[in-house]
Every structure is written in C-alpha cells, then in structure tokens.
Amino acid sequence: MAARDLHGPEAPWGEDFEIIGKPRRKVDGLSKATGEAVYTDDIVLPGMLHAKTLRSPHAHANIRSIDTSKAEALPGVHAVITGKDLPIPYGVIPWTPDEHALALDKVRFIGDEVAAVAAIDEDTANAALDLIEVEYEVLHAFLDPREALERPAPQIHESQKENNVSKHVALEFGSVDAGFAEADLVLEGDFSFHGSTHGAIEPHCSVARYSADGLLTVWSSTQITHYVHRALSRVLELEPNHIRVVQPCLGGAFGGKSDPFSLEFCVAKLSMITGRPVKMLWTREEVFYAHRGRHPMQMTYRTGATKDGRITAVDAKILIDGGSYSSFGLVTTYYSGQLLTGPYDFPNYRFDSTRVFTNKPPCGPKRGHGSVQPRFAFEVQLDEVATQLGIDPIELRRKNFIQGGDETVNGQRITSYGFGECLEVVERASGWKERYGKLERGRGLGVAGSMYISGTNYPVYPNEMPQAGIQLKVDRSGLVLAFTGGNDIGQGSNSVVAYLVAEELGLTLDQVRVVAADTDLCPVDLGAYSSRVTFMVGNATIDACRKLRPLIVDAVASEWEIDPKRVRLIGGKVIDLEDPERVMESRDAFQLAEAKYDTLGSTGAYNTPTLGGDYRGGTIGASPAYSFTAHVVEAQVDEETGRISVPKVWCAHDCGRALNPTSVAGQIEGSCYMGIAEALMESHHVNRFGLHSGPSLLDYRMPTTLDTPDIEAYIVESIDPEGPYGAKEAGEGPLHSSIPALANAIYDAVGVRLHELPFTPAKVLAALREQRAEQAAAEERRQA
Amino acid sequence: MRATTLNVNGDDLDVAAPAHWTLLEVLRYRLGLTGSKQGCDKGDCGACTVLMDGKPVLACLVLAARAGGARIQTIEGLRPAHHAAGGNGADPVQDAFDRCGALQCGFCQPGMMLSARALLNDNPSAGLPEIQEALSGNLCRCTGYTQILQAVQTALAETTGGEAPVPCWANQKDDD
Ligand code: FES
Ligand code: FES
C-alpha cells in the first residue's frame, strides 16, 4: 500500500469502533502522574558536566574581541567555546540560515548567545561566565518595525537585499478593486497585535554524550527531533548516521521548541571537546530570550460587503515584527495571508505582508502560527460589518460560510466542513438569541469563527519522502510495539498511535506500547508542528496496521480452515464470526502468523496529496484537511477601572472524528485559555533599550486557576474523508477565534471597538472616554 | 557542603550538598527524586510543590538545610503511601487526574497533584472556589485548568461519595 492511499473514515471491523471515540486515559498518563516519566533535565549521566551561556547585554552590537583565558583558568572549568568553534550558520527553514549557535561577529538582541562554558557544576560555570571579557561596538538598535522597514543602516542582517526586510509576500486572488466596486459597504481599520510567548512550564534543556566510537547522542526538549538531527549534522559537520537525537518526555512546547536552539549545538560541541557528557538547562529568564513566540503585527484591513451581508472583497496590509532572526519567518509571512480564506467565501482577496527584523528576541511559531493575528483583525471587522448592516453577527457568518465542495479563493481544497454546526452549538449553548444585545450595560456576548490546517504539504525542506513514517514490531508475547518519529509534546500523539493500533489489530490498550521521537529507533517523522501529527502519523499508523493485519487473519484462517472473512480480531482475541465457540488469544494468532510468515513487522507511511494553488507559495498553508471553530465569549467590563473579566467561554470545534474526546476537549480548553490569556494579561515586550521588561513567570502574568474563565468545550465531528478514521486537528484551531470573540463581546458590553491588543484597563478607559466625548459632541450638535 | 538528614516519603536520608542548595535541588540532584519539577526556580510556577508536614510548600524556596526535621512528601511518595494504607494502583488523586485528561505534558502536575492531595486531606468537602484557591499557586500552561478542576472534584467526590462532575462535551451527544 502506498503512502498516499486513503483508508477511509470507517471503522476497520464492521460498524462500530472498539477503542476510538470513547473517553480514554493516555498511554503515559500514570507515568506522568506518579513522577516516573523522565524529562530531559531528569537525565543524569556519569561524569556529566554542566554548561551555561554568556549572553549579550546589547540589543545590537559588533563583537570586537572575546577573551576567554581567565574563564578557562578557573578551577572546575573544562571547556569554553565561542562563535568561532561553531561557525556554520543554520535555520529551521533551509533558505534562511541566519543563526549561529554562538554569535560569530555580531549580536542582535539582548540575550543573544555569545559564549558557553562547561564546568563541574552550574555554580562554577556561572562564575566562569563572569570572567569572559567581550568588547562590543554598540550599534543603533531597531525596536520599532516601521523604522526597521524604512531606515537602511545599520542592517541587522547584512545579507538582506532591502533594509531589514526578512520576507515580503504580496498575492492577489480575483480582482479586489472590482470586488470593492460591487460593495455597498466598505470598512477600513487598523489593528495591532502584540507579542506573546509560549510559556511552557518546562524550560529548554539538552544533554549530549559524544562517545569514543564517534556517536553523538543528544537528548533534548524539542518538538521536532528530525530537524534538530539535520541541524546538528550540518553545524557540527558530523555524518547524520553518527548522530542520535532523542526527545524525552516533554514539558510543553506550543511551538516554542520547534527551532533548533543554541543549547543543542553547545552541549554537543562541549561534549566532543571534553569527552564527557554535558547538560545545559536554561533558566526561565533564558527561555524568555529564546522566545520564538507570537509575532507582533500591525494590520490594515479593508472589507467590502453587499447590503445583504455578502463579502465582496478583502484587502490586507500587514507589517510583521520578526525580532532578530528568521526562524520560521518565511512561513509566518505566508500564513499571515494564506490562512484567512475560510471559513468564509472571499470572492476577491489580496494581502501584502512584510516581515522585518528588529533587535528583539526572535519571533517564531506560537500555537496558531501567523494566523491568530489576522484572524483577530478580520473577525472584528466582520463584526463591524454586521453592526453597520444591522445583521446578527452569527447570521452574517453563516451567510458567508463556504459550503461543501468548494475551493477557497487561494486554491485551498476543503474536504470536510463543520463550521455551520459549530456556530449552531455555540449559539445554543450561550443562549445567544435570548441574550445577545440584551444584557445590561457592562456585560456582553461576542462571536467569531475560524479555520485552521491539519498539517501542511510543505515539508520545510523539499523532498519526495513520506512526511510521517511508522514501524510495527509484533511480539510472540502478544505485544505490539509501535515506533514513531512523531513527537508527543503533551498533546497525546503517542496515545493516538496506540489507540489506532489497538483498533486496527483488535487489541487491548495494554497490548500496545509506543516508542517515539528517537532518531535511532524510529522512522523519520517531521515532528509536532502545524497540527500535523494526528492526521499524518495517524494515517501512517493505519497504513502499517493494514499491511500486517492480513497476515494474522490469514494464518488464523488457515489454522481454522475457514474463509478469512470470518476471522475478526477484537479485544485481544481472535474470533470466528460464524462460530462463537471458536476463540483464540491474539498472542496465539501472532505465533501462528510468525510461524507461517517469519518474524512479523511492518512499516507505514503518509504523505500529502499534491495540494495548493499553482503559484509561488501556493503549497504553504495547503493542508489535507481543515478544522473549524466557533467561539462565543461573554465579557464583563468594569467601567470604573477598565478591567475586563471573562466569566464564560463557549467553544465548538470541528476536529473531524474525535479519536479520544477527552484529549480533544483538553486541547480546546487549553487553546481557549491561552487565547484569552494573551488578549487580557500577557505581553512579551522589551523596553526602550531592548531589554525584556519582565522575563519571569510572575511578571509575564500567566493566568492561574483564579484568572481563567469557565470554558465550555464542545466537539463537532465532520468526518473527514482523508483523516485517520476521519480525524482532523484540535490543538491550534480553537485558539484563533477566542480573541476576536472577546473583542466583539466588549463591544456588545459597552459599545467600544478595541483594535489594539492586549485589552488593558488603560485602553478600555481611553476608549470609554472617547465614546463619552463623541456622545457629548453628538448631543451638542443635536441641540445646536 | 553541608550534611543534613531529611525525612522524605517516610525514609530518613543523609545528604551532603552545598549550603545554598534548595530542597528542590537536593531532591532532584542528590536523591534522584526527579518527580518534583523546576519551572522557574524562584517561586512563580508551583511545579516544585512538595508537602512539608502535610502543607504544600515551594521546594525551590526552601533551603535544604532548613528542611531537616519536617516530614517531606514528594510525588513519588503518593503511590507507596496509598499502598501502605491498603490501596492499590495509584493514589486516587493521581488516578482521577489520569482519567479526566488533566495530564497533558504533565510537567506542572506533580506540584498540582500535591496541592490537590493536601486539600483533600484537609477539606474533603471543598467546593469549586476552594479548589481553585488551593491550586492557584500552580501554573499549568496546557490544560486551561478545566480538566484539572474536574479531576480534583472527581477525586473529592469519590472520597466522600458525592457526585463527580460531567464535562459538557460528554453530555453533548445526549442533548443532540
Ligand atoms: S520551580 Fe519552584 S515555584 Fe517554580
Ligand atoms: S499539563 Fe502541561 S503544564 Fe500542566
């Protein structure tokens, strides 16, 4: 069976699923609950050294000289490295390799890595950092993206063609000007989205061991083992087959562990130099500098609509603050435009997005990569259209929803659509019809919708090989071991693999174990990003099972001398569908099959079909399936203090078939929490020197149990024809519409439109003051 | 270096560690009890929460040298204590967290579950506001807290014979 074959969404045996679709424990839940699970910093190797990083105190500076001699002389220090020890640049996107493990000749933000020390313990390593002497030539620091766009020198990256532009994408589909000409109403508005960061509770950590036989093993808190593997090979100039990368249990990521990071190269190099294992654990402060979080965006949107509420054209101009390095920036720039073209039909659409470098911690992919910001702006503008036309905001969204069989204006193929049902669910659950526009002043409801990818067919580096691979080993003991390169980052992807294997091979869950994210043991998988894992790894798993299943069925059928159609694998047993007396343990079936076909195993793979529009960048954001979300948020605005609270969030998410509804609900709830958090409380911000204004969890103000709204998660299942049993993504989509739904709820509560995130009390009070002034002026006009 | 005797999960253990080391460092890097997690090392996240004489404390803010004499319980101690009391499997709090889906990445959860365990011991009739209060020092970035609160309510209900909450998505099918 080839990688692109479809398996269909049906249950593998008859009508019903045995495992899929019911609330389940995760395969690794109890090991996490008891403290048994091993995370990277839990690894201690004999003779292990501890490493620390020296970071730049300047936002933009040339390095004139570095003197490490005093640090090297400190007792207990085993090695000191600087940029010249790791001179080869890298970047997660192969076209933009602009990072160095340690700065080569220049630093680009406060916190940029300059040198690393390995010593007998962290205290000694920290003391050695103080002894490293660096002479800097301080340069003008760009902190404002507009200045970075316009001012030519000094360039942050000298290789850029135009000032500090990191990436520019301009695309038009249909004729936007003609679309506006048709419109009865055209609205234009400026919107601003601030930066926010992932805040995974586990700080980044890596451990390396360079063995005498030339094998480098790196255990790292990464969400993409394969890209770390490739980057290590490139920078260290080692054959990839001499490198093993392992992701231990991971303490959260949300996109913040997708890039290869400085510490991975540094521990590897330090281990190669010293001949000892080396660990580096970043402090929380360092995690804030590493960042790769949500890009701040300044956006101008224009939307045209007919009197009856049909969108005729959308036009966007976006300035993206990328921070100091490219990271995934090429993709971010495309995503800022490409992912907005659903769930509504845009007959004409244009976007012009420019990502610029600034001297701030580098931005990257955070949950809802590149598309949360435009979604905020557009869904608020759509609400304004509804208000101006006097159409109910849910009705307006319904009216413009792309129904089945369509392609979006930019050529994205949509195969399953649950958006209509999502709208219905939140409308009903929130009591929308009875309550919207009717609550007392200060309290309001807002709605918004969104669409998101389930993986993308753009594999970061172009190649024809599968995006997901899986291997099964069938043991005489009755155990099936699944080896997957997929990264379980807490979302439960290892559990998904186990559920699918158990369903396909008729096993109980304790007969399946999963080995994941180890480049020596597991086939390549492109990792946990772009919400690709359930869809792609799931399909690869089914593929592997379907190659194995006939062997087991056939061996049993020969033993029983019956037609293979009568053989069913179920619940750890094999039964004869026509003779209920005839039953065998799956272990015995495995042994029969092994005797007949030799040692049993199989591989499975998945690759996307050819997707996307036929234009440059058309494959970026082209996904085999799209998820849909609708939110209703209830807001309470205190007009005295400007404080906004969110008593309730209703979210309905179309994830295709919910393989484990407990996990899907967890993803929806976590997404809603994170969206409301960044809208109201969190801000990743640097001061006028480029210094992070509060690199701690306390200052960053992540919500506690007391700050988090009551979240009602609803699951909508539009069974996708190509997903594994019809499943799509659930991890990122449900964040998007939470933020504009909150903005729209604030409007319903007090009649002000907030276009600038985060919604701080100061902004609320200013908007209310403006509202009062306008009302007074209108009153005066009327009297005059 | 400073020698201390710590009572951890019922055992008296002699440890020698630098005088400035915290209880968290000693638990993780001297005793190998890596179930207690470090998310910030400065008292902000709660991942390092352990019980000292039954009360939740942040192990990253307690000097190891000051912890002698107290009964310290870490996440690794919950299951053995449950067994010693005649149970089997995991502690009911751990089990409820697992069943309710509260364990995503799991990194916050040892601290979270010890805060929950302390609440269960002290106030088995706690309502939602008390649970939220008791867990408010433990940050979780994955769950949005919903399934955590459901897990604690479930564990409480199972201890007292009350009703466990049913999440709205589980009710959904019946409505439609
Ligand atoms: S590690 Fe102790 S509170 Fe964060
Ligand atoms: S489960 Fe990941 S931080 Fe709580």
pLDDT digits (tens, 9 = 90+) for A752-765: 999 999 999 999 99
Residue A774 sits at the chain B interface (C-beta within 8 Å) = no
| Bridge partners for A52 per DSSP | A117
- As a whole number of angstroms, the distance between CA A731 and CA A655 comes to 9
Q: What is the pLDDT of residue B175?
A: 46
- Torsion, Cα A217 A222 A224 A228, to 10 degrees, reads -40
CATH 3.40.50.10420 for domain B78-167, yes or no, is no
Give the pLDDT confidence score for residue A683 in this predicted structure. 97
* Structural class in CATH, domain A41-139+219-250+257-283: alpha beta
Which residues in chain A have Cβ-Cβ distances shorter than 8 Å to B131?
705
Tell me the C-alpha distance between A428 and B171, whole Å.
14
Token pair 């080839």 is at which residue? Answer: A2
* B130 contact A CB<8A: no
A531 Cα–ligand 2 center, Å: 18
The values of phi and psi at residue A356, to 5°, are -115, 155
Nearest CA to ligand 2 atom 2: B105
CA distance A485 to A519: 7
Å from CA of A49 to ligand 1 middle: 23
Question: Is a pLDDT exceeding 70 seen at residue A506?
Answer: yes
Confirm if A373 and A336 have CB atoms less than 8 A apart: yes
Distance from the B40 Cα atom to the nearest Cα atom in chain A, whole angstroms: 5
Confirm if B107 and A203 have CB atoms less than 8 A apart: no
User: Comparing C-alpha atoms, which of A320, A337, A331, A317 is closest to residue A620?
Assistant: A331
pLDDT value at A108 more than 50: yes
| Nearest atom (ligand 2) to Cα of A251 | 2
What Cα–Cα distance (Å) separates residue A106 from each residue in A135, A151, A270, A408, A684?
A: 11, 19, 22, 44, 24
CATH label, A297-458+613-773, candidates 3.40.50.720, 3.30.365.10, 2.40.160.20, 2.120.10.30: 3.30.365.10
Architecture of the CATH domain B2-76? Roll (3.10)
Q: Quick one: average pLDDT of A494-504? A: 98
Whole-angstrom Cα Rg for chain A: 27
Q: What is the crossing angle of helices A738-750 and A661-680, to 10°? A: 50
Q: Smallest Cα–Cα separation from A320: which of A360, A367, A350?
A: A360
Kindly indicate whether the ipTM for this predicted assembly is greater than 0.90, answering yes or no.
yes
| Side chain identity, residue A46 | P
Q: How far apart are CA B26 and CA B28, in angstroms?
A: 6
The pLDDT score that the predictor gives to residue B174 is 47
Rounded CA gap, A725 and A7, in Å?
Answer: 8
Pairing of strands A113-119, A49-55: antiparallel
Domain boundaries, chain B: 2-76, 78-167
Q: What is the pLDDT of residues B39-51, one digit of tens each?
A: 999 999 999 999 9
Determine the distance separating the centroid of ligand 2 and the alpha carbon of A369, expressed in angstroms. Answer: 20
Residues of B in contact with A251 (CB under 8 A): 37, 39, 105-107
- Taking a C-beta distance cutoff of 8 angstroms, is the pair B72, B11 a contact? no
Give B161→chain A minimum CA distance, Å. Answer: 22
Q: Read off the pLDDT of each residue in A512-538 and give the average, rounded to a whole number.
A: 96
Q: How confident is the model at residue A3 (pLDDT cuts 50, 70, 90)?
A: low
pLDDT above 90 as % of chain A: 95
| Ligand 2 neighbour B108 (Cβ under 6 A) | yes
pLDDT of residue A1: 39
- What proportion of chain A, given as a percentage, has pLDDT over 70? 99
Residue ranges of A 657-716 with Cβ closer than 8 A to chain B: 661-666, 669-674, 696-698, 702, 704-706, 708, 711-715
Question: Is the predicted pLDDT of residue A33 greater than 70, yes or no?
Answer: yes
What amino acid occupies position A55? R
Q: To which residue do tokens 């609320």 refer?
A: A764
* Spans of all domains in chain A: 2-37+467-606, 41-139+219-250+257-283, 297-458+613-773
> What's the pLDDT score for residue B171?
85
For residue B139 and ligand 2, the question of a CB distance below 6 A is answered with: no
Quote the pLDDT of residue B173: 60
DSSP codes joined into one string, chain B: -EEEEEEETTEEEEEEE-TT-BHHHIIIIIS--TTS--SSSSSSS-TTEEEETTEEEEGGGSBGGG-TTSEEE-HHHHHHHHHHTT--SS-HHHHHHHHTT--SS-SSHHHHHHHHHHHHHH-TT--HHHHHHHTTTS--SSSTTHHHHHHHHHHHHHHHT-PPP--HHHHHHHH-
Residue A729, classed as helix, strand or coil, is coil
Mean pLDDT of chain A: 97
Longest C-alpha distance within chain A, in Å? 99
* Residue A421, helix vs strand vs coil: helix
**What residue ranges line ligand 1, CB within 6 angstroms?**
B 38-41, 43-48, 58, 60
User: In angstroms, what separates the C-alpha of A28 from chain B's closest C-alpha?
Assistant: 9
State the pLDDT at residue A405.
63
The topology under which CATH files domain A2-37+467-606 is Aldehyde Oxidoreductase; domain 4 (3.30.365)
Provide the b/e sequence for B100-130 (b: ≥16 CB within 10 Å).
Answer: bbbbbbbbbbbbbbbbbbbbbeeeeebeeee
CA distance A265 to A91: 13
Same topology, domains A2-37+467-606 and A297-458+613-773? Answer is: yes
For A699-715, what is each residue's pLDDT tens digit? 999 999 999 999 999 99
| Segment 170-209 of chain A within 8 Å of chain B by CB | 198-203
Of the listed ligands, the closest to the CA of B45 is 1
- Among all residues of chain B, which has the CA nearest to that of A677? B144
Q: What is the pLDDT of residues B57-80, one digit of tens each?
A: 999 999 999 999 999 999 999 999
- Find out whether A51 and A125 touch, Cβ atoms under 8 Å: yes
The whole-number pLDDT of residue A200 equals 98
Report pTM: 0.98
**In the predicted structure, residue A2 carries a pLDDT above the cut 90:** no
Residues from chain B that touch A252, judged by Cβ atoms under 8 A, are 104-105, 107, 141-142
Count how many Cα atoms sit within 13 Å of the Cα of residue A777 in the half-sphere of its side chain.
6
Mean pLDDT of B78-104: 97
